[in-house]
Amino acid sequence: MLQGPGLFIILLGVLITVHELGHFLVAKACGVKVIRFSIGFGPKLFGFTKGETEYQVALLPLGGYVKMAGDSPHEELSPEDAKRGFLNAAPWKRALIVVAGPVFNLVFPVLIYFVVFFGPHEATSTRVGYVDPAMPAAAAGIRPGDRIVAVDGDKVRTFEEMVGTFVGRFGRPIPITVERDGQQQIINVTPSRFVDSSPVDSVERGQIGVSPNNRPAVVGVSPGSLAAQAGLKSFDRILSINGVSIPDEAALNEQLQKMEGPLELTLQRLTPVEIGAAKGHVPSVVTVKMQKQPDAVGLAALGAEAADSYVAIVLPGSSAEQAGLRSGDRLVALNGEPLRSFHVLSIKLSNLDKTPFQLSWRSGADGQEYTKTLAQAPWTYKDEMGNESSPLDLGVRGWVPSAAELTSTDKVTVTLGAGEALLKAVLIVPEIVGQMVKVIGGLLTFQVSHKTLGGPVMMYQLAAKSAELGMDYFLRLMAIISINLGVMNLLPIPILDGFHLLSAFWEAIRRRPIPVRVREVATVVGFVMLMALMGMALFNDITR
CA dist., res. 513 & res. 316, Å (int): 60
Phi then psi for 351, rounded to 5 degrees? -95, -5
Q: Which secondary-structure segment (H or E) carries 503? A: helix 497-510
Q: Tell me, what's the pLDDT at 227? A: 92
Length of the chain: 544
Is 28 in a helix, a strand, or coil?
Answer: helix
Are residue 273 and residue 335 in the same domain, yes or no? no
- For residues 376 and 319, is the Cβ–Cβ distance under 8 A? yes
CA dist., res. 36 & res. 454, Å (int): 30
Domain termination site, one of 342, 364, 382? 382
Tens of pLDDT along the chain (544 residues) come to: 455 567 777 888 888 899 999 999 999 999 999 999 998 888 889 999 998 999 999 888 777 889 998 887 777 778 887 789 888 888 899 899 999 999 999 999 999 999 999 989 888 899 988 888 778 998 898 987 889 999 999 999 999 899 989 988 888 999 999 998 889 999 999 998 887 765 556 778 888 989 888 888 899 999 989 999 999 999 999 999 999 999 888 788 778 888 888 999 999 998 877 666 566 678 899 999 999 988 887 888 999 988 888 999 898 889 999 999 999 999 999 999 988 888 788 878 888 888 999 999 999 888 899 999 999 888 876 655 556 667 788 989 988 877 666 666 788 888 889 999 999 999 989 888 887 777 777 666 766 666 666 555 555 566 566 556 677 888 888 888 899 888 888 888 777 788 778 888 877 787 777 776 776 676 677 667 666 666 665 666 556 5
**Which pLDDT tens digit goes with each residue over 46-86?**
999 998 999 999 888 777 889 998 887 777 778 887 789 88
DSSP letter for 360, please. Answer: E
Q: Is residue 440 part of a domain?
A: no
CA dist., res. 19 & res. 34, Å (int): 15
Q: To the nearest 10°, report the CA torsion of 171, 174, 180, 182.
A: -170
Are residue 228 and residue 291 in the same domain, yes or no? yes
Q: Tell me, what's the pLDDT at 1? A: 46
Q: Is residue 426 part of a domain?
A: no
Q: Is residue 406 part of a domain?
A: no
- For residues 325 and 355, is the Cβ–Cβ distance under 8 A? no
Q: Is residue 80 part of a domain?
A: yes
Are residue 101 and residue 19 in the same domain, yes or no? yes
- CATH number for the domain spanning 189: value is 2.30.42.10
Q: Is residue 453 part of a domain?
A: no
Phi-psi region of 160 (alpha: psi -120 to 50; beta: other; left: phi over 0): alpha
Are residue 86 and residue 109 in the same domain, yes or no? yes
Are residue 224 and residue 284 in the same domain, yes or no? yes
Are residue 111 and residue 140 in the same domain, yes or no? no
Range of the domain at 155: 123-211
Q: Is residue 423 part of a domain?
A: no
Are residue 31 and residue 94 in the same domain, yes or no? yes
Are residue 14 and residue 112 in the same domain, yes or no? yes
Are residue 142 and residue 239 in the same domain, yes or no? no
CA dist., res. 312 & res. 342, Å (int): 10
Query: Which residues are part of the catalytic machinery?
Result: 20
CA dist., res. 116 & res. 145, Å (int): 30
Q: Structural domain tally of the chain?
A: 4
Are residue 508 and residue 537 in the same domain, yes or no? yes
Q: Tell me, what's the pLDDT at 265? A: 94
- For residues 415 and 466, is the Cβ–Cβ distance under 8 A? no
Neighbours of 84 (CB within 10 A): 20
Q: Is residue 528 part of a domain?
A: yes
Are residue 178 and residue 237 in the same domain, yes or no? no
Q: Is residue 29 part of a domain?
A: yes
Beta strands in 292-416 (DSSP E): 305-306, 311-314, 330-334, 337-338, 357-362, 369-374, 377-378, 381-382, 388-389, 392-393, 396-398, 411-416
pTM beyond 0.85: the answer is no
Are residue 134 and residue 195 in the same domain, yes or no? yes
